[in-house]
């Protein structure tokens, strides 16, 4: 698909520009994380990429080092117990996702695409198979993220990811990009802690 080649070039260009422009933000966040709690600045977690390949996603650490691993935060009984003060701010503003720019540069992710599932989110991976959503590059943000994010059921999220896969192109990526900016400014769709409506069934 020709657009995927164009998409890769755009990913590299925009990622390099973003790294240059956001370098002061990176420095401030690194200092804040080190002052706020003990532990590494970055958090690595195994995720599912294109064609169900595995890779280590990068995030700024927002939780204590002894927090449960490989569990989505919105499925924890009491996430506030584990999230640091600086981490709470970064999650609210999505600044914790910035290190994924390096994942994009490495070709493990795209700027726009389905959010990469955890390696053990078998229900989501299986649902995405039904729509061909595992066969396109995963992204920093995507169609599902601007249409509900954490508030969506697994089946709804997979269906939206499939819709993106079917309509992938410049126009769709443009909608996702600007929709993400609006969602972040409004703090939409971010949910911490268990809720029955996000059941994988």
Query: From the CA atom positions of the chain, what is the Rg in Å?
Result: 16
The predicted-structure confidence for 72-120, as pLDDT tens digits, reads as follows 666 666 777 888 999 999 988 889 999 999 999 999 999 999 999 999 9
114 or 191, which is more confident: 114
> What is the pLDDT of the chain when averaged over all its residues?
88
Give the model's pLDDT for residue 73: 66
pTM of the full structure: 0.84
The C-alpha atoms of residue 26 and residue 98 are separated, in whole angstroms, by 8
76 or 177, which is more confident: 177
3-state secondary structure the chain: CHHHHHHHHHHHHHHHHHHHHHHHHHHHHHHHHHHHCCCCCEEEEEEECHHHCEEEEEEECCECCCCCCCCCHHHCCCHHHCECHHHHHHHHHCHHHCCHHHHHHCCCCEEECCCCCECCCHHHHHHHHHHCHHHCCCEEECCCHHHCHHHCCHHHHHHHHHHHHHHCCHHHHHHHHHHHHHHHHHCCCCCCCCCHHHCCC
Give the model's pLDDT for residue 74: 61
Least confident of 31-45, 66-80, 110-124, 132-146: 66-80
The C-alpha atoms of residue 187 and residue 93 are separated, in whole angstroms, by 7
Give the model's pLDDT for residue 9: 97
The predicted-structure confidence for 49-71, as pLDDT tens digits, reads as follows 999 999 999 999 998 887 777 66
Give the model's pLDDT for residue 192: 52
Give the model's pLDDT for residue 92: 86
Give the model's pLDDT for residue 137: 97
pLDDT at 142 over 90: yes
Give the model's pLDDT for residue 200: 36
pLDDT at 198 over 90: no
């Amino acid at each position: 698909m020709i657009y995927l080649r164009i998409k890769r070039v755009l990913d590299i260009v925009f990622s390099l520009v973003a790294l240059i422009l956001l370098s002061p933000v990176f420095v401030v966040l690194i200092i804040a994380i080190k002052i706020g709690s003990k532990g590494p600045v970055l958090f690595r977690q195994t995720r599912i990429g294109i064609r169900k390949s595995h890779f280590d996603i990068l995030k700024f650490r927002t939780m204590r080092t002894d927090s449960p691993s490989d569990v989505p935060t919105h499925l924890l009984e009491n996430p506030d117990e584990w999230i640091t003060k600086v981490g709470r701010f970064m999650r609210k503003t999505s600044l914790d996702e910035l290190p994924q720019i390096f994942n994009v540069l490495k070709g493990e992710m795209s700027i726009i695409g389905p959010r990469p599932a955890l390696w053990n989110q078998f229900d989501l991976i299986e649902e995405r198979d039904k729509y061909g959503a595992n066969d396109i590059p995963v992204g920093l943000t995507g169609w599902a993220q601007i249409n509900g994010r954490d508030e969506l059921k697994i089946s709804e999220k997979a269906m939206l990811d499939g819709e993106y896969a079917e309509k992938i192109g410049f126009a769709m990526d443009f909608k996702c990009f600007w929709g993400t900016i609006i969602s972040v400014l409004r703090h939409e769709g971010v949910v911490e802690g268990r809720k029955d409506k996000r059941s994988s069934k």
